[in-house]
Structure 1
Amino acid sequence: MGDNLEIQRRMLELGFSQVELAHRVNDVIKTLTGRYGTCSERTVRDWVRGKVTWPRGLQRRSLEEVFDCTAEELGFQPRGATPAPPPTENDVRRQTFLKGIAATATTAAGLTPSPATAAPRTTIGTSDVIRLRAGLETLDALDDHRGGHGALEKAALAGAAEVMALQRTGSASERIRSRLFSVAADYTAVAAWSCIDARDLDQAQKHLDTCMRLAGLARDPVAVFRTWNMIAMLANQLGNYPDAVAAARAAQRTGITRRDPAFASLAHARTAIGSAGLNDRQSALRSIGLAADSLGRARGDQPCPSWFAFYGAAELQALTSIVQDRLGDAVSAESASHQALALLPAQFRRNRALATARLALTQLHQDEVDLAVHTASSVFDVMAGDPLPGRMRTLLGDFHRELLTLSTNAPAAQEWGDRYRAEWSRT
């Protein structure tokens, strides 16, 4: 029969790898039967290559649910049926082009997502969900580079409003409606995170309440995990460490952590930070150890949403530095910060600046004043051209106060004070 170009095209539209499609089919089978399916990457490969022209009943039904269309529309044909003509090369190219246009439609200069349609529509389909999701990657990339700020929050809320307007005015299947709620939750999560990073904590809490409601309506374990993760971060910023630990443990109990060890690793790391805030050394070290073990089991080729791309070996080292510094082990904390900076990908500029500020604090906690001042000053160089997010300003403010307490007359401290005040006036 030859390659099944139609299922290839639809996988491309949704960004599914063969492994991801197998997981999604198995998830639907579990919903239908109560038992996780046996679909594997090899099964999907046989579909894509046309070796299987008509999947078995349960897998076929699950495929139809995943793609929200019939098996025939996916390029499959029951035995004895006359095959429909496959899509032409131009068809495939056109779909790829349209996907590329959707992914770049939202830019840093104009962050508000494009209008839902040129004219009113009555039916909402997969293409609408794909288009709406495309703007999220641009917002996530902007956050990685600059951090949270008002324009990012505004753009994210505009995206969520567009999704919910489509929910209210269009007709759609239950599956499409769930996916729209998931997209709305993700846009709201970007707004919440922007407020957390900007230290607008009251506004962040309001967005998180909305985000959790939308994630529940979507029945999306990844969105629920993301919300609990941010609740844990917000509680840490507020110094409410019992709530931070409770939220991190709630994240550990979401469905995605059982399927993907990388998500479990992040939840354990958040637990460790909260426990260190409570000065519970044993729990903190146990949790950070579990985070490392879980990340070691994670598969590098596992697909993940764009917002989760920040988490890996570098971020785990950065979080480990926070835990160890809170527990009073500044030497180990400094080592972890150095490892974080060495491993951190170039696109995460804001995270690099944060890790550098944390490194300066660990050096100050070892009375290395000159070295700490030099390190802290480089934060301004990393973020040159953009205002500092509120979370970073708070961290540098902590460094400034601790430096003045430790050494007010040292030449390095006086030089830092001049640089600090000058930079503050610009940002």
Structure 2
Amino acid sequence: MDRRGFLNDSIGAAVGMSLPAHLRPLSPAGETGAVGTTHLLELRAGLRSLFQLDDAYGGDEVRSLSVRHLRRVRRIISTRPCSDTIRRQLQLLAGESAEHCGWLAYDADDQDAARHYWGEALTTATMLKDVNLEIMIFSTMSLQACYEGRARDGLDLARAAQERASRLGSPTLRSLIASREARALSLLGDGKGASRKLSEAMRLVDQADAGRPSPEWTAFHGHAELNFAQGLLYEEAGHHHSATQFLRAALVHQDRTYGRNRALYRLTLARNLVEDGEVDEGAAQAVESLEHLEEVESGRVTRRLNEVSGLLRHRDADSARQAVDKLTAYTQSKVAA
């Protein structure tokens, strides 16, 4: 990615149509210098392209681009005249961009930075009274809370998101949040409650065509994501054989455009197999994940890789030792780079 190109974003510069949307300079502003609908659409396309890069490659490398995009939006709000309607849409875009900066920091395992950007985004959502942005923030903060071992906070945040989502009438959105409620309940030791929530999430995602359209940011959510959530639930309960079935299904059905998720799914499958005593296959899955990891930069994925390596080091099998050697060599090469 040509990051320096991102800095050359002056209104009035020629549009580099061969560049990704987040790297293109904005269209000329016209005689009054006012920002209009065309500029708003271009800025929104830039954010959309950053979402796509994150899906494919993870948050580590994309986050600096997203921060610069947020700065671009803020600069335009501060320095360019526009109508009240356009200004509100630009402020909303700034909130969405801040939320995405928080997500990328979370994925890169920089949790303090994630909290900072989500705080900014939540301020914008509150000011604009935008329910969709509030839902987006609360549901993602729920993931972070669970990731950090704060499952009770994770459940409260997911429930806050679900209360707001019930007003929007989108089954896919409610399914996504129900799966995050299930995650928190599982970590709190409420296996039955988690199973009920996950069943609800599965019913809702099957009703997607019957309700209102889901927000664009929920596009990743579907059966692959729910299979992965079910696999995690079984793994945490110690039912590794059942977990393997769902984790395999998640990997098979995950769209290949979601490279970061595929890497995470495969390493989670490897971890579960090793925990289940299937060391040879777990080691093979771990080594196969290196193909994905060549393209992905994600702190969460790196942590999962380290978990798998740690498990394999304690297994007395040739396949485990060989896998550890390859995973270690890969990790060292990344550090050296």
Query: TM-score, structure 1 length as denominator?
Result: 0.70
Q: Where does residue 173 of structure 2 map in the other structure?
A: 263
Letter aligned with residue 136 of structure 1: L
Q: Where does residue 310 of structure 2 map in the other structure?
A: 401
Aligned mates of 2:215, 2:31 — CA distance in 1: 30
* Pair 375,402 (structure 1): closer, same or farther in 2 beyond 3 Å: same
Tell me, yes or no, if structure 1 residue 327 matches structure 2 residue 327.
no
Is the 1:330–1:362 contact (alpha carbons within 8 Å) kept by the matching residues of 2?
yes
Aligned mates of 1:133, 1:334 — CA distance in 2: 39
The runs of 5 or more residues in structure 1 that have no matched partner are 1-100
Q: How does 1:270-289 map to 2 (within 5 A)?
A: 270-289=180-199
* Pair 303,396 (structure 1): closer, same or farther in 2 beyond 3 Å: same
Is the 1:189–1:207 contact (alpha carbons within 8 Å) kept by the matching residues of 2?
yes
Aligned mates of 2:310, 2:292 — CA distance in 1: 22
Tell me, yes or no, if structure 1 residue 142 matches structure 2 residue 53.
yes
Q: CA deviation at 1:140?
A: 1.1
* Pair 284,257 (structure 1): closer, same or farther in 2 beyond 3 Å: farther
Q: Where does residue 414 of structure 1 map in the other structure?
A: 321
Deviations 1:117-175 (A, max 9, x none): 5678553332232121010121111111110114x222212222222222223444443
Q: Where does residue 94 of structure 2 map in the other structure?
A: 184
* Pair 416,277 (structure 1): closer, same or farther in 2 beyond 3 Å: same
Q: CA deviation at 1:402?
A: 2.5
Given candidates 389, 413, 418, the residue that maps to 2:298 is 389
Given candidates 128, 143, 148, the residue that maps to 2:39 is 128
Tell me, yes or no, if structure 1 residue 245 matches structure 2 residue 152.
no
Tell me, yes or no, if structure 1 residue 349 matches structure 2 residue 256.
no
- For the pair shown, the structure with the greater C-alpha radius of gyration is 1
Q: How does 1:160-239 map to 2 (within 5 A)?
A: 160-239=70-149
Q: CA deviation at 1:264?
A: 0.4
Deviations 1:261-298 (A, max 9, x none): 10100111011111111111121111111111111111
Aligned mates of 2:262, 2:217 — CA distance in 1: 16
Letter aligned with residue 320 of structure 2: A
Letter aligned with residue 421 of structure 1: T
Aligned mates of 1:420, 1:255 — CA distance in 2: 42
* Pair 376,123 (structure 1): closer, same or farther in 2 beyond 3 Å: same
Q: How does 1:52-91 map to 2 (within 5 A)?
A: none
Is the 1:337–1:359 contact (alpha carbons within 8 Å) kept by the matching residues of 2?
yes
The runs of 5 or more residues in structure 2 that have no matched partner are 1-14
Tell me, yes or no, if structure 1 residue 291 matches structure 2 residue 201.
yes
* Pair 142,129 (structure 1): closer, same or farther in 2 beyond 3 Å: same
Aligned mates of 1:121, 1:322 — CA distance in 2: 56
* Pair 294,281 (structure 1): closer, same or farther in 2 beyond 3 Å: same
Query: TM-score, structure 2 length as denominator?
Result: 0.87
* Pair 415,300 (structure 1): closer, same or farther in 2 beyond 3 Å: farther
Aligned mates of 2:297, 2:322 — CA distance in 1: 20
Aligned mates of 1:113, 1:211 — CA distance in 2: 24
Q: Where does residue 313 of structure 1 map in the other structure?
A: 223
Letter aligned with residue 317 of structure 2: A
* Pair 234,121 (structure 1): closer, same or farther in 2 beyond 3 Å: farther
* Pair 121,187 (structure 1): closer, same or farther in 2 beyond 3 Å: farther
Q: Where does residue 367 of structure 1 map in the other structure?
A: 277
Aligned mates of 1:121, 1:220 — CA distance in 2: 30
**C-alpha RMSD of matched pairs (Å):** 2.4
Is the 2:165–2:174 contact (alpha carbons within 8 Å) kept by the matching residues of 1?
no
Q: Residue 209 of structure 2 aligns to a residue in which SS?
A: coil
